[in-house]
Amino acid sequence: MFLLVYIVLDAVILAWFFLAPLMASSGNRLFFGLAMLAYNQGYLVSNCHQMFQRSLIFAGFEMPFCARDTGIYVGCLVGAALPLAGLKLPRRLASVWVCGLLMVPLAVDGVSQTILDMRESSNLLRVATGLLFGFGMVYVFSARIVERSREMVDVRSEAAKALRLGVLTVAVLFAVGYYVGGGYVTLREAVSESGMNPSFVTYASKRSLETVRYDPYLSSYDDSVLDEMVAYGSRGNGVWVVYEGPMGHAGKDVFFRGDGTFRLVSDVNSS
């Protein structure tokens, strides 16, 4: 039952976070609220820094958590679900030692990038090492649980209970999302108020601003406008950032706080 609940909740979180970029541009209060809930509170799921430079772009918008965490959650889901689906690795490959080795690349990639400051990783590598880490962390336990309990329980009955919990979780998210959706400036409103024809729009949650301010390993990893955003204040609900022109090059950058106030933070003509 624990394994089934874990799989259902992991699947709900992944679906919610993968759909958040699509819902962020929606004018529907419920969908928009679910997106804002993901960006502003979703970090509680994984304590993610939420820096959009280190996040995957999906449907033209960044994910609510970073590329590495995305890989970890997908890897965990695959590692937990494979044994239940009857797909098993050879016993030697399913050992604790092998699964432990799958977690090493993430540690090497993360330590060399963040703590030792030797290099800058890529989102592709972050996803790959995250997938290996998540799979290695979960698979061996899932395989053992399934091996020892499959004949002892009615899997379908237990799965039905786990699905009911999943439905309840989704219902709670919908209710909170609808409530949250009325308290934020929408992406469309921000773009309209800016009077710009943006090439790119992103959202920086309060969490990502605080990360830049307080994390010594990330404080230098930002774009030209992020320092201004942090200096302006991260006490609000987060900010929309509207770019006119290529990111990191010539163009205007406008950001909107959740309460609707905005500020033009740069208008540069040099590359």
Q: What are the φ and ψ backbone dihedral angles of 257, each rounded to 5 degrees?
A: -80, 165
The whole-number pLDDT of residue 163 equals 85
The whole-number pLDDT of residue 128 equals 94
The domain locations on the chain are 2-181, 187-268
The whole-number pLDDT of residue 261 equals 56
Q: What average pLDDT does the structure give for the chain?
A: 79
The whole-number pLDDT of residue 68 equals 92
The list of the chain residues with pLDDT below 50 reads 249-250, 267-271
What is the per-residue pLDDT across 195-221, written as a single tens digit (0 to 9) for each?
Answer: 777 777 888 887 887 777 777 666 666
Degrees, nearest 5: CA angle 154-158-163: 145
| pTM for the predicted model, two decimal places | 0.80
